[in-house]
Every structure is written in structure tokens, then in C-alpha cells.
């Protein structure tokens, strides 16, 4: 089974020491997408459109997703063991998720792999798990981990971009393909955006070993993957949009690094359980997005802070399945001075998000 083979690769992957010679790791931020889930929606001719197929309903974390996130927690333990103590301490790690079930459950599953009870943490010898808090902001107020709180300016900018010659030109190119998809999917007319989003439905179903209709083979994974990757870049298309879409999260991450440098934070790791759109936007804010791919389930960005003598450096890594990539910060490289990084991204950091969101 595909998922089991993925788990095997993940668990078996060798993890080298993350610390470069001469440097000392001080803290790490982990921004990860949630694990495998059920589709968010269905379509008129979907042979798997009955929600009862999914034990917890549409959009919810599957058992495979729980295992995937648990294994990712073990991967993090392997990578940072020795830096992050094996015995849980509330002063060492802070986990935060959007107030959406699959994100909160993914964070909990990750923490179960990161902190399997040992020593004084064992509270029941028959249960290899311990409760670790996951924090969340009320969804209506969330604008850091995802833009849920109303931001009229960002809404206007997205609408303007969707109606621009740039996007309309792309949609004209996609139209013959989405017309065929719409017809097969049972839509009454050519639903361009809805048809492109079917990539997500097909992916979730195929990862759960459900047979897709024969007609999908001409469109999935490509060209639908390319089309959806384009759609995902609209949300944080330019610097103004990035200030509103991903600037708040990047600002929080950098602020936390500053707190570590100043000695005002004891956290060795901060975990953020988010969505694929959040990952794309965050990479765009850092100007390291490749423009062409979508973050798979459990993809993660690692922001590592190092100290060398009296200076601090940041490394950004992108974990995709069993591959860990070093991301090159423009004009900075894969080990970037913290001061240089902050200077390079200052144009996408909002001063007052609520004020800047006004139309």
C-alpha cells in the first residue's frame, strides 16, 4: 500500500546532525502542513461522493494522516535529539495550530512522536503517549497562521488580480481543459476554478486507495497540478499582498528569534500546524518559493537559528516527504545573518495589520 511505503521511507530516513561546524543551534521554528485528510468536497459525478466513506467526514484527518504526523514527530526527535531534551518541559516547546480539527489533531500527533514518554514522563506503562498542549486563536480572529479574519484590502487585491489580464490570460489558456473536466464532472457549464480544485479531491481519494474515474487520467496529476499551483500564488502575488497574507506569520517567527537572541525566550522549538496555502505564502514572503509545486501533506519549513560567537544566523530548510532541502535566501545563501534576513524581508512585514487591511 502506498501510504505504508511512505511511512517506511519516513521512519527509515537517516537524519544527519543539523548543526554546522562552529555554530550552536539555539531554537527552531517548524511550520508544517497537516497530515493526510479526506477531501474537502465532492463533485456531481463523483463515484466516491458519499461522505460516509470517510469515517470522520470531509476535510478531517485520516488514520493515515495521524500516523504520518506521528512519524514526522519522530523524525524531528531524531534530528534534534540532544538539543531538544527527551523529557517534556513546557519551557522547551510551544505548539500552535489553527482552530481547525485537522490542524490541531496533526499537531497533537506530531507531539506524540516527538515526546514519547520516557523516564519521569511515563504516567501509564501501557500508554506510550502523554498530553502536550496545543494552542489556538479563535478562528474568527486568526490572521497569522491563515487569513480568516476579515481583511478587506487583501480581498480587494485578490479580486482585482483575478480580474486582471494576467490571470484572465491564464484562464483563457486553461479554459479548453477545464471545459472537458467540467463536462465529465457534471457541472452545467465551464467551472474554471472549481475544476482546477478537483486536483485536491483526486489527490485525497487516490492517497486513500480509491479508484479514480478513467476520464481523470487525462488531467490528474497534470495539467491540474500546474493549474492549482498557479492559483495558490494569487493569494500572496506581490509585496503588498504578502504584507497582509504572510507578513504577520513571518513577523511573529522573526520576533520569536529576537526573543531567543535577547534571552527572553526559553523555547527550543515552536511548532505551527498550518495549511498548504500558509506554506506557499510563507515561502513567498521569504522569496524562496519555486512557483511551480504544491506542498504535500506533512510538508514542513524549518527555520533554524544558530549562534557563532557574537553573531546569529538563520538557515531555512524545506522538508518534502523524505527530502530535506536547503533554501537559499536571496543575496544571503543557506546560512543568513539574522540582521541581513530581517533587512531583506522588512518590506513584507506589516506595521499594523488591522490598519493596513482597511480598504
Cα 162 to chain centroid distance, Å, stands at 24
- From 184, 198, 187, select the one nearest 228 (Cα to Cα): 198
List the one residue out of 312, 311, 280 whose CA is nearest residue 293.
280
**276 an active-site residue?**
yes
The answer to whether residues 288 and 279 touch, using CB atoms and an 8 Å cutoff, is no
SS3 label, residue 235: coil
- Cβ(283)–Cβ(229) below 8 Å: no
Neighbours of 88 (CB within 10 A): 19
Q: Indicate left, alpha or beta for 86 from its phi (over 0: left) and psi (-120 to 50: alpha).
A: alpha
In 224-299, at which residue ranges do the beta strands (DSSP E only) sit?
A: 269-274
Q: Which of 276, 287, 322, 334 is an active site residue?
A: 276
Q: What value, to the nearest 5°, has the Cα angle with vertex 44 and ends 41 and 49? A: 50
Annotated active-site residue 81? The verdict is no
**Could you give the CA distance from residue 323 to residue 161 in angstroms, rounded to a whole number?**
34
Set 34, 48, 143, 235: catalytic member: 34
Active site residues: 34, 276
Amino acid at each position: 500500500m502506498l501510504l505504508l511505503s511512505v511511512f517506511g521511507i519516513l521512519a527509515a530516513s537517516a537524519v544527519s546532525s543539523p548543526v554546522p561546524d562552529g555554530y550552536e543551534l539555539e531554537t527552531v521554528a517548524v511550520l508544517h502542513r497537516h497530515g493526510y485528510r479526506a477531501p474537502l468536497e465532492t463533485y456531481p459525478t463523483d463515484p466516491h461522493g458519499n461522505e460516509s466513506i470517510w469515517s470522520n467526514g470531509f476535510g478531517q484527518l485520516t488514520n493515515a494522516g495521524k500516523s504520518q504526523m506521528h512519524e514526522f514527530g519522530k523524525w524531528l526527535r531524531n534530528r534534534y535529539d540532544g538539543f531538544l531534551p527527551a523529557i517534556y518541559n513546557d519551557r522547551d516547546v510551544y505548539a500552535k495550530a489553527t482552530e481547525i480539527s485537522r490542524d490541531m489533531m496533526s499537531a497533537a500527533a506530531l507531539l506524540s512522536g516527538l515526546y514519547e514518554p520516557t523516564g519521569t514522563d511515563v504516567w501509564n506503562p501501557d500508554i506510550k503517549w502523554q498530553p502536550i498542549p496545543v494552542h489556538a486563536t479563535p478562528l474568527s480572529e486568526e490572521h497569522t497562521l491563515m487569513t480568516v479574519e476579515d481583511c478587506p484590502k487583501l480581498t480587494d487585491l485578490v479580486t482585482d488580480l483575478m480580474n486582471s489580464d494576467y490571470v484572465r490570460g491564464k484562464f483563457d489558456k486553461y479554459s479548453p481543459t477545464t471545459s472537458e473536466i467540467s463536462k465529465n464532472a457534471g457541472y452545467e457549464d465551464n467551472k474554471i476554478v472549481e475544476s482546477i480544485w478537483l486536483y485536491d479531491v483526486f489527490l485525497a481519494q487516490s492517497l486513500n486507495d480509491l479508484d479514480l474515474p478513467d476520464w481523470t487520467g487525462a488531467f490528474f496529476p497534470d495539467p491540474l497540478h500546474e493549474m492549482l499551483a498557479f492559483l495558490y500564488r494569487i493569494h500572496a502575488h506581490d509585496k503588498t499582498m504578502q504584507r497582509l497574507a504572510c507578513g504577520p506569520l513571518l513577523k511573529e517567527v522573526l520576533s520569536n528569534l529576537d526573543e531567543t537572541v535577547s534571552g527572553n525566550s526559553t523555547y527550543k522549538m515552536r511548532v505551527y500546524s498550518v495549511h498548504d496555502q500558509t506554506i506557499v505564502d510563507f515561502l513567498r514572503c521569504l522569496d524562496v518559493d519555486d512557483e511551480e509545486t504544491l506542498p504535500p501533506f506533512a510538508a514542513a519549513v524549518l527555520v533554524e537559528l544558530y549562534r557563532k560567537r557574537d553573531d546569529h544566523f538563520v538557515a531555512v530548510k524545506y522538508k518534502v516527504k523524505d527530502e530535506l532541502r536547503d533554501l537559499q535566501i536571496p543575496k544571503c545563501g543557506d546560512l543568513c545573518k539574522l540582521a541581513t534576513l530581517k533587512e531583506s524581508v522588512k518590506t513584507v512585514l506589516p506595521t499594523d495589520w488591522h490598519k493596513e487591511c482597511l480598504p
